[in-house]
């Protein structure tokens, strides 16, 4: 029986090479050959969302951003949103079962056939194991790293559009009209969890729960470290080099 240590691609490759698909423990798992299947790992504010959106537009591959999905569920007041709200607002991780269910449903949608960029999932070993069990296969895991002082300044200056999820920064990437989304024309928000006390908690949670995933993926030989310092274009070039698109 395969384990995550055997390498995530093996399940997906089995179907590419015409071998019999392996028995999958989760109902409806995917075994389609996919072009670009990426996971973005890294601290809050490191720039994962900015780069994922850019890459998603460039290659027409969907960005699956669990933070955006949870915030949308919270603002719609769905049952999932109600369960997630107190966790998101306080900077703690939403329970695994809830996030895994949301991601699994999303990965089964038709537009995932050519791949995906998982932005913010997995964040725990349980989530990484669940992703493996889904049988989707991952090509590369990019781990973005950045000095904590710069991280904090990126988070403090971030403003987002609650409608289209576009990400701005007051200094590094300001909208044309101060405080207004260029696309939607509505006022930008300062995320509740971007307040200093919550950011501190998010950084602690990241170190404890998510940072160990670098070892998890290193063992599988699919981990690439990306220096997230410098301009958005600099970082995009490093991603390009690591992935050789």
HEC per residue, the chain = CCCHHHCCHHHHHHHHCCCCCCCCCCCCCCCCCCCEEEEEEECCCCCHHHHHHHHHHHHCCCEEEHHHHHHHHHHHCCHHHHHHHHHHHHCCCCCHHHHHHHHHHHHCCHHHCCEEEEECCCCCHHHHHHHHHHCCCCCEEEEEECCHHHHHHHHHCEEECCCCCCEEECCCECCCCCCECCCCCCECECCHHHCHHHHHHHHHHHHHHHCCHHHHHHCCCCEEEEECCCCHHHHHHHHHHHHCC
Measured from each CB, the residue nearest to ligand AP5 is: 67
134 binds ligand AP5 (CB under 6 A): no
Taking the CB of residue 17, how many other CB atoms lie within 10 A of it? Answer: 8
Q: What are phi and psi of 116, to 5 degrees?
A: -170, 160
Shortest CB 157 distance to ligand AP5, Å: 6
76 backbone dihedrals φ, ψ, rounded to 5°: -80, -15
The least CB distance from residue 96 to ligand AP5, in Å, is 7
Nearer to ligand AP5, 80 or 193 (CB): 193
Based on the residue annotation, tell me whether 35 is a catalytic residue of this protein. Answer: no
Size of the site for ligand AP5 (CB under 6 A): 35
Which helix (H) or strand (E) is 115 found in, with range?
strand 115-119
Tokens standing for residue 95 = 């329970």
Tell me which of 37, 48, 54, 71 is the catalytic residue.
Answer: 48
Of 116 and 168, the one with the shorter C-beta distance to ligand AP5 is: 168
Q: Is 191 a catalytic residue?
A: yes
Pick from 99, 136, 141, 188 the residue near ligand AP5 by CB under 6 A: 99
Does 92 qualify as catalytic in the annotation? no
> Rounded to the nearest 5°, which phi and psi values hold at 73?
-65, -40
> 238 an active-site residue?
no
Chosen residue from 12, 30, 31, 235 binding ligand AP5 by CB under 6 A: 235
Out of 106, 191, 192, 195, which one is annotated catalytic? 191
For residue 145, state whether it binds ligand AP5 (rule: CB under 6 A). Answer: no
Spot the catalytic one: 37, 54, 71, 123.
123
- Subset of 57-96 contacting ligand AP5 (CB under 6 A): 66-67, 70, 87-88, 91-94
Site for ligand AP5 in 153-182 (CB under 6 A): 154, 157-158, 167-169, 172-173
Task: Tell me whether residue 123 is one of the annotated catalytic residues.
Answer: yes
Instruction: Draw the binding track, 2-41, toward ligand AP5 (x: CB under 6 A; -: no contact).
Output: ----------------------------------------
Q: Give the interface with ligand AP5 as residue ranges (CB under 6 A).
A: 42, 44-50, 66-67, 70, 87-88, 91-94, 99, 120-121, 123, 127, 154, 157-158, 167-169, 172-173, 193, 202, 231-232, 235
Q: Please identify every residue annotated as catalytic.
A: 48, 123, 158, 191, 202
């Amino acid at each position: 029986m395969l384990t995550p240590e055997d390498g995530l691609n093996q399940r997906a490759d089995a179907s590419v090479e015409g071998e019999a698909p392996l028995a999958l423990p989760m109902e409806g798992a995917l075994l389609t050959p996919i072009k670009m299947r990426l996971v973005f790992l890294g601290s809050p504010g490191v720039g994962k969302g900015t780069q994922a959106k850019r890459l998603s537009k460039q290659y027409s591959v969907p960005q699956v951003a669990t933070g955006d999905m949870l915030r949308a569920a919270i603002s719609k007041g769905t049952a999932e949103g109600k369960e997630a709200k107190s966790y998101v607002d306080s900077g703690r991780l939403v329970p695994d079962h809830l996030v895994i269910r949301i991601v699994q449903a999303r990965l089964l949608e038709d537009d995932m056939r050519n791949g995906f960029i998982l932005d913010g999932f997995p964040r725990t070993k349980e989530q990484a194991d669940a992703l493996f069990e889904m049988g989707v296969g991952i090509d590369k895991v990019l781990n973005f790293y950045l000095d904590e002082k710069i991280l904090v300044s990126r988070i403090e200056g971030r403003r987002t559009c609650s409608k289209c999820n576009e990400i701005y920064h007051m200094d590094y990437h300001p909208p044309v009209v101060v405080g207004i989304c260029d696309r939607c024309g509505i006022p930008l928000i300062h995320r509740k969890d971007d307040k200093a006390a919550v950011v501190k908690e998010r950084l602690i949670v990241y170190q404890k729960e998510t940072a160990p995933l670098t070892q998890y993926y290193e063992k599988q030989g699919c981990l690439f470290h990306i220096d997230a310092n410098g301009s958005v274009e600099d970082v995009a070039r490093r991603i390009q080099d690591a992935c050789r698109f």
